Structure 1
Amino acid sequence: MNGYDQAQLGGTEPTYLRTCGLAEAPFSVASDPRFFYADTGRVQQIQLLQHLIDFSEVLVLITGERGSGKSSLMQHFAAEAPERWQVCCIDVHALMSADQLILAIARGFGVELAGSEAADPNEALYLHLLALHRSYTIPVLLVDNAHDLPEDALEAVFHLTDVQSADGQRLLRTVMFCEPGIEKRLESGVMKPLRERVTHTMEIPRLREEDVAQYLRHRLTVAGWRGTDLPFSPRDIHRICKSAQGLPGRVNHEAHLALSKAATATEPRGDRPLARLPRLPHARMLVIAAVVVVVGVLLALQSRINTWFSGDASPPAAAPGLTAPDAADRVTVPLPVFEEKASPPTEEPDLGANGGTKSPPLTPLAELGEPLADAPPPLADESEAQLAPDETAPVATPEAGEVTPAEPSPPALSLATIEPNLVEGRREPQTLTLRGSGFSERTVVTVLWADREKALPPGQVSLDSAEQMRIRITTGVTPGQWRVSLTDPQTAVVADGTFAVVAPALPSPPPVAASPQPVPAAAALSLHGRDWVLAQDPEHFTAQLFASYDRPNVEAFARTNSLTGDAAIYETRHNDRPWFVLVHGSYASKDAARLGVAALPAAVGRAKPWIRRLDSVQATLTAPVAATGGAAAQAAPAPAPRAPQALQASSHEAWLWGQDPRHFTLQLMGSRSEANIKSFIKRHDLEGKVAYFHSRHEGRDWYAAVYGIYPDRAAAEQAAKALPAALRELSPWVRSFSSIHDDLHQAAP
């Protein structure tokens, strides 16, 4: 967090800790992972971010207003990172230069620098990221307060995210936590090219009013609160939420002020919580309570009052079984004898078998101006008896401010049935009814299927009562067993239930022309393969939507997200493993591709699909000429590319233009500095053996060195294995000359 909260809350210990029974400050400005509140919106955001880092090359902006909890979210996300990641968290500031930033990142990843003066942090960091890449470890950079970075340091973050291995794989995943103002910075001046490199933008959701109540309860509980009710009324919570605008930092501030004001307004009374003291009963409640007490005392003294008005003050005889105390110990308040309120008795009741004296007739209270309507019925077999002072008959009088008795505890959370329990698979949303007990607005609903899970947002959950709720989900058409898990975040109680998704039945035949086959939708999904990709115009564009090591996952993504039109799944290699990629559409221009992406389902669009030229996609597949086999496909790789001796990019590029676009080469290294490329060539004694060229990569200068001429991809891969060890460690990237020609064309003035 930043200075906003420090200035607001200050650094002194809150005055309400002792009186509220708290062990520590519940609304401190210090960022403590124990106080992180994982509401549904943040849980979904974390799950999506984890998925993107695992399966995409990302640079993500997480934006939120000051006080929205960016730092807490970053720390929680880092703490939940899987072992396959190496995470570096840095908190930046407005005075941090680009060199200081790179040095901080290198140290954050644990890079050992042999002397701060002599070592080059850029090179050391690159080698470290490359080593992580080879060990199948994903390096993740989390930057807090990225909006404070000066221009050169902000550019350094973007350039670092561009660092690639020789095979073109980005080595770093970057997530920047910043205020929304960074968007305006990236859209202006020299910073504008950087905005195109951002793959995803997410906004931290604000807390709703019901979330604020749970948020306050969570923080108070962590701090030691043991009360059953919050020390805030519903009106207080509404005021806090409205004033804070759903921002957790401001909620902390408002709650802190409310408790502090309560602590200074009055002193605690007994064991009553301090925060309850400001909620004193209104004057009306005090009057009602006083009237109840007075009526109770009058009823208790009814017999004595009757005796006074009858003129006979002699004490009645003791009831059977009671021993009369001495006169000195007697009290003046006798145990009352109540009569039926219908009519006053005309004759004295007999006191019992022991022949006690009879009391004189009672004068009705109605004649004395006192109401009798609320008098209780007579007590059977009871007579007046005098009690010792310590045995005064109790009178039931309500506590001040108490109107009704406490309600019983709500039933525990349970899930009895899910209806229907057999769900026909569909690509459109369906409603399921859950029945059980203990349902509430705070109940978190999670759906699990096929090794995947999703916490449903509030828009997909409808609470009908404490025994029934409805959820709206899209199951797709793949049969399988699904599970619904309900969680009460307050009590940590979990209740589970299952249902089955079955294959959809064939549609009923139309009334005019019956047909046993289902009629396909006009815009049904046509899922193609590698051949479809190779058959497309290489100058067209496509949208890459999803990629995974597991082909069924890719197929499920295509179908469960209700895609339509042409799409293709093709296989390539990633980290020496089969890698399946889903692309959608073939568009004549990049603008047309953007329009196509905008028309995709919202869930797909939120993942920011990658728009690519089809020739770059085709270059990753086996060229059609090589697929036919023959002598050319079996030819041995050329020992060297017969590159020109001069170390000028222009002469090398002319040579590259003369190569057959259907052939392949090995890209050994890429850099934004031409001097680095020349140094690399000299260091490895590659003059005359490699060619290098200039291109543009995401709006910036880019230089790459390539080696060899090979008739097909397989021959190039075989040649890569025969390279010297120092070059093999760079993981050479097999690429076609057609893709290099495209780079040269785009970089031409």
Structure 2
Amino acid sequence: MSDLSATEDFLSHYQLQHDPFAGRTPGFRFFTPKRKPVLAQLHHMAHFSEQVQVVVGPTGAGKTLLRQALVASCNKDNVQCIVTSGRDTVDASALTRFLCQALNVTDTQALRDRTEQLHATGLQLYLVVDDAHCLDSEAVQLLADLSQSGGRAAPRVFLFADDSIADLLATVDMPADRVWLQLVELAPFNLEETRDYLGQRLEAAGQGIELLDDEQIGQIHRQSGGWPGSINDVARQIMIDAIEPARPIASRRAKGAVLPLRSLVALVLVGIGVAIAWMMGGDEPEATRTVINLPDQVATVDVSGAEGPVLQMPSDDAANPLERILQDPDAEPATPAVVSANGQTVSASGTAAPNELPEPIAMPEQMPVEAPEVVAAPEPVAAPASQPQSQPQPQPESAAPTAPPTTASAPTAGGYHQAGWYRQRAASEYSLQLLGSRSRQAALDFMAAQSGVADLGYFETVHEGKPWFVVTQGAYAGRTQAQQGAAKLPESLRKLNPWPRSMSSIQQSLR
């Protein structure tokens, strides 16, 4: 599966508004107790010292985020910041041109004079360079000279780089007795800081830390070493890997193009019955009416004996063409028909249909043809309680018994929880999210298949502007109890990676 498909499944499964672990997310700010003192130290040293401040750390340590915070937290009335990247101004000449253009001067001497003029008016100049390890030695020498050129009026220089900048700093020519450099090393997050970081990332995408259990958080911390950039990569991969067993199921339900096995068997049986009737000769029997369970909605046919006609709507592409071929292979495309309670076929205008077929002849006992079960639509029209139910036709002893028909709106024993139940639960409780689908019928079929699992429910919400049906199990007092409940589910459900979800978040998302 492509990375794009994996990302789409990742966002859909966890119902995230965007990728929470995208690099350099606009507006995202996270400072642990280890980062806040570093920011305060940079401001302090810039106010009381003339040293070059060099912040070092590996890729993904959060240097760029710290640089953004430094610039954003400066008092614009007292500080003027010029920000560049070592990748854009590699050599001394390119760096000089950039600085002169920013201050509207012509050369390095004019740049120093301009710095003194700004200081006289109460403005301190900050030169901030990200990816400073990409500079050459002459560019680093230029910045060091500027920082030591004018006493208190000299520009303050901040370099953000990885550890390789140590070799460039060693080439700078400065008097041995002058302390011109201040090195600040960033430290990785500890386990609790990693947890807080993940929580803030997930909350910004519309969810929370409950998507990850303690074992997953510990695994993310160990594999990333506590560095923010690696935390993003490892966390995304772990959450994607957790839904791998569920992804094929979601893909199959999304396609909806393959006929179910039950429908294929029904098609074969009907074909055998027609062939036998043809070989027997005589009058052509009326084909058994069959409603095939296709992905699209098929209207219910009321055969309970109730008075009045019941409209049978044609389905798309599969059920009605098959039914018309079985009745009359040479017929033109048919219009919707009405089947009355006594079995007479009536046209849409209310008149009896011409050329009715003769009564069906008996089938040979040695080869009975069993019609597949009728699967009702999601919202069938129930017959009035006062009307008697039609008696089932006797089946040959050799025929396999068929399962009773089920309806989407009539849940199994115990019932399925729906929107009203979720609204009545305490917001502090948790439920286990098992499945999310674009199809209501897919959610109902999924629950019907879990005959041994109690306390199932589903609700409708909106995801990416479209209806989204979510299946849950249980109501637990807290997140820990929900995790314990997940461990007791059947193995087939544990493979779907059920995750605890608070009732408050469900209540907020109810449609």
Relative to the length of structure 1, the TM-score reads 0.33
Larger strand share, 1 or 2:
1
Relative to the length of structure 2, the TM-score reads 0.47
Larger radius of gyration: 1
Q: Relative contact order (alpha carbons < 8 A, sep ≥ 6): 1 or 2 greater? A: 2
